[in-house]
């Protein structure tokens, strides 16, 4: 079985980002979105997307802090690999 490709969309919960996220999912990608650590509405967005038939993962990422960004990317990659059988 071919492994599904992964798309990580920074700012994937906003207008354009949400559009990109849903288009990527519709094209067959596993989609991970990132959001600002100060975003308090990410859970409701995930629930809304689930209601529309999308199963996204979401992680808080501060893209301004390069060291933190690298660490978060490694964390996302590790978690996605671990969950790959459930996608």
Domains and CATH numbers, the chain: 6-86 (3.40.50.720)
The secondary structure of residue 27, as a DSSP letter, is T
For the chain, 87 residues long, the average pLDDT of each consecutive 10-residue run is 77 92 95 91 96 94 75 80 51
What pLDDT was estimated at residue 87?
Answer: 37
Buried b (16+ CB within 10 A) or exposed e, 10-27: ebbbbeebbebbbebbee
What pLDDT was estimated at residue 63?
Answer: 74
What pLDDT was estimated at residue 82?
Answer: 63
* Cα–Cα distance for residue pair 6/28, rounded to 1 Å: 9
What's the pTM value of the predicted model, to 2 decimals?
A: 0.75
């Amino acid at each position: 079985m071919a492994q599904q490709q992964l798309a990580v969309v920074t700012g994937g919960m906003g207008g354009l980002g949400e559009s990109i996220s849903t288009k990527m999912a519709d094209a067959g990608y596993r989609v991970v979105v990132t959001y600002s650590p100060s975003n308090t509405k990410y859970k409701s967005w995930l629930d809304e997307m689930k209601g529309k038939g999308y199963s996204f993962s979401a992680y808080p990422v501060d893209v301004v802090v390069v060291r933190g960004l690298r660490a978060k990317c490694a964390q996302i990659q590790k978690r996605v690999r671990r969950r790959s059988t459930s996608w």
